[in-house]
Amino acid sequence: MLLEFFSFLRELASFFVYIFSPTILPGVLVTVVGSATPIALAATGELVVERSGVLNLGVEGMMIIGAVVAFGVSLGTGNPYLGALAGGFAGIGTALLFGFFTVYLASNQVATGLALTLLGLGLAGLIGESFVGTPGVRLEAITIPVLSSIPFIGPALFDRDILVYLSFAIVAGVSYTMFKTRVGLILRATGENAEAAHALGRNVRLIRMGAVAFGGLCAGLGGAYLSLVLTAQWTEGMSAGRGWIALAIVVFATWLPWRALAGAYLFGGVIILQLHAQAYGLSIPSQAMNMLPYIATIVALVLLSRNQAVMRRNTPAALGRAFVPDR
Amino acid sequence: MQLELVKRDAPSSKMLVAAPFMALGLTVLTSGVMFAVMGFNPVAALYEYFIAPLTELWSVYELLLKAGPLILIALGLAVCYRANIWNIGAEGQFTMGAIFGSIPPILFPEWTSWATLPLMLILGMVGGALYGGIPAFLKVKFRANEILTSLMLAYIALLILDYLVRGPWRDPGGFNFPESRNFSDEQSLATLEGSRLHVGILIAFAAVPVMWFFMSRTLAGHAFKVVGEAPRAARFAGFSSKVLTYAALMFSGALAGLAGIMEVAGPIGELRPTISPGYGFTAIIVAFLGRLNPWGIMLAGLLLSLSYLGGEAAQITLGLSDKMARVVQGMLLFFVLGCDTLVRYHVRLKPNPKVASTPTASEAADAA
Amino acid sequence: MKRLTSSLLALGAAAALSMGVASSAQADDHTVNAAFVYVGPISDHGWSYAHDQARLAMEAELGDMVETTYLESVPEGADAVRALERLARTGHDIIFATSFGYMESVMEVAERFPDVKFEHATGYLSSENFANYNGHFYEGRYILGKIAGLETETNTIGYIASYAIPEVISGINAFMLGAQSVNPDVEVKIIWVNTWYDPPREAEAANALIDQGADILVQHTDSTAQLQAAQERGVRGFGNDSDMSAFAPEAQLTAIVNNWTPYYIDRVRAVADGTWETGSAMGSMESGMVQMAPFANMSDETRAVAEETMAGIIAGDIHPFAGPIFNQDGEEIVAEGEQAPLDMILGMNFYIQGIDDAYPN
């Protein structure tokens, strides 16, 4: 028993040596970025939504709508950029529906988010029925000269499609806006105490609508990434729970944009790592391997949650609570 | 134009009754329009969805069969949600209940006595409660957000089941296919002659009045509500939020686990890789559709099941896409939530934010 | 409220009307009403898609003789029984349940509806009115193995598998036997994705395998994602269940095509003639159920070997599981000059020698 365990440890060690070898690592990094980008996009958007005090559990629904619309438009126009744009706008559209109910009608946010997921999955399936059996148009990479030839990270980060670049730009933009600008201050104040923000003359509902729409844009783009880059095809339910992972990543990130990006990369990294471990022949049941990303997320969250100071500082206090302005 | 909500002094009892009907009416109307746009006769389609499944006895039985687990799980979830504890991992607790409850028939197949079945049900509840206890532990001990942990644990439970059924618990006589051995009669719930309706469904429906009594007439039930609505007041009243976190998550886990083992010992009759068509997730919708009220949950469970059965019927008779069922469910939930606003608020449309609203506008909203 | 009641009444009246329409549709006695139950969406481009293509082809061939309906994305378990029962009750003469997980459900419903014929794909149970059918798809995988063994330059094959069920295991073994017969140095790397169908995940698995040196990809999952990934990365692979060349014209070497059409035509015709009988049908390359998509993107020599092998299998001269076959421990499972018996293939639970990976359990 003990002997087996040691031989397993040796196997594990040799796997890690293998993964970090210069021949394998660059390819691994490329795939990790691909796996993480849709989650990072959706998570960053949701982070802004939650910072405004709104919990939108409908990320999965917005993502899948984004995926199908992006696919359809790029197929129809032959232009995947238009497709990605349309996917983003479709995300905004579905988000505004959610926003109207939760922000203006003060409906329960958790339940409305679930309704959005149901509706999104159903509608996307309906829209996509005519795309069955049709290959799509792929969003091609834009190589950035010089940077793309940096060893290891060059091909992974600087020889990618526009959505990867955009995901970094969005995270940087959100981080800057949220902590360095007045808009960000107002947004955070709204999520912290909507009544107080209202008393200061802020239009809480408009701010929240804006945040919700931004969340929809990001989720739609994340969906577009699935059907335009990861696989140039449309299939029903192709988001396969990635919207839920994005939601989890926001909590994991303690509502900090760069941490959300890191969380998405950690999650994507574990997914890719377990695939490589299987291909390498590590003798662990595949179910246990497929559990790893989920277990890793829980463990990481537990470790982060122990730092209560950070948690308390960043958790939007009004999260999930409806706000109704008095007259 | 600006939409304005004015809080009512007390929830409108008139609206409380009317809102669900308005929501249903709006759903029927909107889906009717969608059917028409898709080229189907809207009346025929609506009939298939909402009425046809109720016209035959077997189909009514099937409706109850499908609604049972949804209601049972949602009853537990409602307790959590009342206390502002967001358990969204009922699917995992359902699965773990099925796994624990299946220990006697799979590991001790020869042991068949009158006590087998009760033990299975108890183990099912224990399994669900323990699995629900994990996010409670992580929340109490590490303040880890239960939305995330309970959801991740749901995915993990499904993979554990997959592993068991394809590995150690596989039926030795099953040609290496992923199924456990079949449960014998002593290990299965008795069914109503000529149907698949089993004792478990009776338990699920009996739980409705029990939960209603518990939530509205007992101190413990009251405690959950207070914690949810006014955590500070709860602390003053001496309710420990730690204890309540454990209690809510483990209780809802136990009900989900019970639903799980009853599904396996009932209509399925064995353990297999897929035992749930997403009951644990759908039950979240049922809980909210029923406004976290046990009687409402019962109606919501029935209504949602109806839309599943109706969706199937419409697919067969009219060739209507199965995605439409999900769209209808999503719309229904949206409208219920929107109409619920009328219960708590007067809704007015103001042409200009500065001008005081006229009282007739709210009357008009009420009348609609 | 008043308006609501009156509209409900109107609904009821219209309902009675629509029922009249529904029943008249099934009035014609000569028409066979055939129903299909799919486990996934038709849009999977794989398993359920192939069954649905066969349904359409059968409809086209038989014309007025048949009316078909289908239910897609029907979950296995309690829901399947209800779906089957509804189909049985709504005047369907023959019902095809197209996933292994429906087996117990079909058994249950078939018992209660003795006049309806049930057909179940890839299972082993049957009864008076309940037949099962399957194909020797491993025959196709043996040919894939030969092609891969000849075409690989890195001697590394990537294999994306769904679940460790006998069909998938026998597929891996048949593939390796084919590959070893032309290339003793060939090595296979296997990833179990624990899903039939998650296109982005399948693409990620494909990329991981390519990164580890695989230059030929094989899949036993449903989507086209891994072939598309192969094309992007400039390697080649095989389609599964249907011809996927439209998705990866430069990467698809060939594909195993599940051609259920002849079987469906036969069975529906038998119902129309009143000659339907239960049984266990095993389609094969010879019977036309297992077909290969055109051999493409390979050398002429390889194509010749593939065609020769296919002809040999059809003629019965070549059997993929012909001995000697050894398991991973080096024990002889099938002796020289013998063939693996059918139940060993259908319940296969071991890897053959040369697969350098732990058996999944």
Confidence check: pLDDT of C140 > 80: yes
Confidence check: pLDDT of B159 > 70: yes
Closest-CA residue in chain B for C15? B47
Residue A270 distance to chain C (closest CA, Å)? 12
Q: How high does pLDDT run on average in chain C?
A: 88
Q: What's the whole-number mean pLDDT along residues B1-6?
A: 75
pLDDT at res. B123: 97
Would strands C94-97 and C117-121 be described as parallel, antiparallel, or unpaired?
parallel
- On the 0-12 / 13-18 / 19+ scale of CB atoms within 10 A, C329 is exposed
Lowest mean pLDDT among A205-214, B343-352, C168-177: B343-352
Cα–Cα nearest to C190, from C215, C167, C229, C219: C219
* Token pair recorded at residue B196: 């698949």
* Helix (H), strand (E) at residue A109: helix A109-128
Are C97 and C119 a contacting pair, CB within 8 Å?
Answer: yes
Which residues neighbour C56 within 8 Å (Cβ) at sequence distance 6 or greater? none
Lowest mean pLDDT among B92-96, B320-324, C36-40, C128-132: B320-324
Closest-CA residue in chain B for C20? B44
Least CB–CB distance from C166: residue in B177, B263, B276: B177
Lowest mean pLDDT among A9-23, A65-79, B5-19, B65-79: B5-19
Confidence check: pLDDT of B364 > 50: no
What whole-number distance in Å separates Cα of residue B140 and Cα of residue B117? 34
Size of interface B-C (CB pairs under 8 A): 121
Confidence check: pLDDT of B31 > 60: yes
Contact residues on chain A for B166, CB-CB shorter than 8 A: 287
Question: Given pLDDT bands bounded at 50, 70 and 90, which one contains residue B99?
Answer: very high
Question: Given pLDDT bands bounded at 50, 70 and 90, which one contains residue C18?
Answer: very low
Q: Do A281 and C356 touch (CB under 8 A)?
A: yes
Q: What is the DSSP string of A48-66?
A: HHHHTT---TTHHHHHHHH
pLDDT at res. B352: 58
Angle between helices A109-128 and A59-77 (to 10 degrees): 30
Would strands C236-241 and C325-326 be described as parallel, antiparallel, or unpaired?
unpaired
Q: Do C224 and A279 touch (CB under 8 A)?
A: no
Are A283 and A11 a contacting pair, CB within 8 Å?
Answer: yes
Q: What's the whole-number mean pLDDT along residues A201-218?
A: 94
Which residues neighbour B82 within 8 Å (Cβ) at sequence distance 6 or greater? B215, B224, B225, B228, B292
Question: Given pLDDT bands bounded at 50, 70 and 90, which one contains residue B1?
Answer: low
Least CB–CB distance from A115: residue in B3, B322, B330: B330
CB-based contact (8 Å) between C73 and chain B? yes
Confidence check: pLDDT of B227 > 90: no
Show which subunits contact B, needing at least 3 CB pairs below 8 angstroms: A, C
Q: What's the whole-number mean pLDDT along residues B173-200?
A: 83
pLDDT in tens, C65-109: 999 999 998 988 889 999 999 999 999 999 999 998 899 899 999
pLDDT at res. C14: 43
CB-based contact (8 Å) between B189 and chain C? no
Confidence check: pLDDT of B140 > 70: yes
A278, A287, A294, best to mutate vs chain C, most C CBs in 10 Å: A278
Show which subunits contact C, needing at least 3 CB pairs below 8 angstroms: A, B
What whole-number distance in Å separates Cα of residue C302 and Cα of residue C297? 10
Are B295 and B285 a contacting pair, CB within 8 Å?
Answer: no
Q: Do B143 and A311 touch (CB under 8 A)?
A: yes
Contact residues on chain A for B328, CB-CB shorter than 8 A: 122
Chain C: which residues have CB within 8 Å of chain A? 41-45, 49, 73, 158, 164, 189-195, 197-205, 207-212, 214, 223-225, 228-229, 232, 246-247, 356-358, 360-361
Residue B235 distance to chain A (closest CA, Å)? 19
Confidence check: pLDDT of C16 > 60: no
Tokens 């690592």 map to which residue?
A25
pLDDT at res. B348: 78
Size of interface A-B (CB pairs under 8 A): 147
Residue C316: CB atoms within 10 Å: 10
What whole-number distance in Å separates Cα of residue B178 and Cα of residue B170? 6
A15-24, B67-76, B263-272, B346-355, range with greatest mean pLDDT: B67-76
Least CB–CB distance from B327: residue in A108, A119, A311: A119
Contact residues on chain C for B176, CB-CB shorter than 8 A: 165-166, 169, 347-349
Q: Do C361 and B62 touch (CB under 8 A)?
A: no
Confidence check: pLDDT of A142 > 60: yes
Percent of chain B past pLDDT 70, that is, above it, reads 95
Confidence check: pLDDT of B362 > 60: no
Least CB–CB distance from C208: residue in A279, A285, A287: A279
Residue B233 distance to chain A (closest CA, Å)? 18
What whole-number distance in Å separates Cα of residue B201 and Cα of residue B100? 20
Cis peptide before B209 (omega within 30 of 0): no
Radius of gyration of chain C (CA): 23
Residue type, C324: P
Q: Do B66 and C82 touch (CB under 8 A)?
A: yes
pLDDT at res. A114: 87
pTM score, two decimals? 0.88
CB-based contact (8 Å) between B155 and chain C? no
Q: What's the whole-number mean pLDDT along residues A184-193?
A: 92
pLDDT at res. C4: 38
CA distance readout (Å), B107 to B95, B168, B207, C209: 17, 10, 30, 38
The b/e string for A231-240 (b: 16+ C-beta within 10 A; e otherwise) is bbbbbbbbbb
Least CB–CB distance from A122: residue in B143, B289, B323: B323
Q: What's the whole-number mean pLDDT along residues B309-317?
A: 89
Q: Do B151 and A118 touch (CB under 8 A)?
A: no
C23, C67, C79, best to mutate vs chain B, most B CBs in 10 Å: C79
CA distance readout (Å), A263 to A252, A308, C279: 7, 19, 54
Angle at B288 between CA B290 and CA A38, to 5 degrees: 155
CB-based contact (8 Å) between A110 and chain B? yes
Q: What is the ipTM of this complex?
A: 0.88
Percent of chain A past pLDDT 70, that is, above it, reads 99
pLDDT in tens, C269-298: 999 999 999 999 999 999 999 999 999 999
- According to DSSP, residue A228 is labeled I
pLDDT at res. B343: 83
CB-based contact (8 Å) between A96 and chain B? no
Closest-CA residue in chain A for C157? A279
Q: What's the whole-number mean pLDDT along residues A123-152?
A: 88
Q: Do A230 and C205 touch (CB under 8 A)?
A: no
Chain A: which residues have CB within 8 Å of chain C? 24, 27-28, 30-31, 34-35, 38, 125, 128-129, 131-135, 138, 226, 230-238, 240, 242, 271-272, 275-276, 278-281, 283, 285-287, 289-290
CB-based contact (8 Å) between A182 and chain B? no
In C117-262 the beta strands, taken as DSSP E runs, fall at 117-121, 130-135, 156-161, 187-192, 216-220, 236-241, 252-258
pLDDT in tens, C176-196: 999 999 999 999 999 998 888
Q: What's the whole-number mean pLDDT along residues C33-39?
A: 95
Lowest mean pLDDT among A104-113, B85-94, B345-354: B345-354
Q: Do A114 and B144 touch (CB under 8 A)?
A: no
Q: Do A28 and C194 touch (CB under 8 A)?
A: no
pLDDT in tens, B261-312: 999 999 998 998 889 988 998 999 899 888 899 999 999 999 999 989 998 8
